[in-house]
Structure 1
Amino acid sequence: MLGALKTQSTQGFSLLELLVVLAISSILMALALPAYQHAVIRARRTEGQVALWQLLQQQERFYTQANSYQAFSASATEPEARQFKWWSGSGASNSAYEIEGKACDGEAINQCVQLIATPGTSRVDGRFRDKDCQQLILTSRGKQSATGREERCWP
């Protein structure tokens, strides 16, 4: 008879245990997600900065040959302007920034060029936003600026 009164062992988790695990993981996720998003924005911003410096070097090489800088953009049709990459990453569709080169404010293109990186346009990754910096700007005079809060945008 004693053999017939075997206790049944339960296997698995109770509903309460599952809810506790779900609550803890939700809290951890809520804490980690903003930090992750901030890290992604900083990495994409660095991508834009590197592209601006590379393009400025290319502009300086062009200047030594033509005694002028070259204006360029995504819609440029001139052969000289088409040799400048107008996106920041490895390809236009996955880049964070669309880049254009134009004369510095109040100056001619043969005196100064400013490179402007605009985040998340229709020609690049349109989902990317950089609310802190907005546009990154680098001039041939070495001035680094942004249209957002400048103190956080350049190292």
Structure 2
Amino acid sequence: MRSLGILRQKQQVGFTLMELMIVVAIAGILAAIALPAYNESIRKSKRAEGAAALANYAQRFERCFTESFSYTGTNCPAVNDGSSNSTENGYYNIKVESTATSYTLTALKTFDDDYCGDLSLTHTGQKAETGTKGVSYCW
């Protein structure tokens, strides 16, 4: 004899479309936050390469000056005359301008940087940049 009880239904497994759309929206929000931060971190590491290259050149110039009392001695980095030396990964080209008593080093950027432009360093240790954020941010 058949009972008139409740018919059992199969339970469905899986996600509804609404649940999937919520997950996609959350992932999109996280990506919108994380991607700009990641890109700025990459630009910061590129700027660090430029600053390190300028510090390396400055150290070479100071070593030269202590040996020959001039920034244009034979052991000093050569004046570029328009040509430039690329940094290790090519993110900057280093431009050297020197006289017997002074030098100015400029790191010309070769990548897209929204906030910081070219970096420069003089014989007095004066740092500069051509962007909009300022020396403390870019250096």
Summarize deviations over 1:104-143 as a string: whole Å, max 9, x none. Answer: xxxxx212111111111xxxxxxx2223220100011211
CA distance in 1, matches of 2:114, 2:27: 29
Gap regions ≥5 residues in structure 2: 73-77
Mapped contact 2:106–2:120 kept (Cα < 8 A): yes
* Offset of residue 6 of structure 1: 5.0
The letter for the 2-side match of 1:34 is: P
Q: Distance in 2 between matches of 1:59 and 1:87?
A: 18
Gaps spanning 5+ residues in structure 1: where?
A: 77-85, 104-108, 121-127
TM-score by length of 2: 0.76
In structure 2, distance between residues paired with 1:73 and 1:36:
37
1:87 positional shift? 2.4
Q: In structure 1, the residue corresponding to 2:39 is in which secondary structure?
A: helix
Distance 2:81 2:20 in 1: 55
Using the alignment, how far apart are the partners of 2:37 and 2:92 within structure 1?
22
**Could you tell me which of 94, 97, 113 is aligned with 2:92?**
97
Q: If the length of structure 1 is used for normalisation, what is the TM-score?
A: 0.69
In structure 1, the partner of 2:75 is none
| Structure 2 equivalent of residue 124 of structure 1 | none
Could you tell me how far 1:58 is from its partner in structure 2? Answer: 1.4
* Greater Rg by CA: 2
| Native 8 Å contact 2:92 2:109 kept in 1 | yes
Q: For the residues of structure 2 that align with 1:9 and 1:95, how far apart are their CA atoms?
A: 60
Decide whether the 8 Å contact of 2:71 with 2:103 is kept in 1. no
Contact between 1:118 and 1:136, CA under 8 Å: does it hold in 2? yes
- Report the AA paired with residue 153 of structure 1: C
- Please, what is the CA RMSD of the aligned residues? 2.4
Amino acid at match of 1:35: A
Partner residue in 1 for 2:103: 113
Percent identical among aligned pairs is 34
SS at match of 2:94: strand
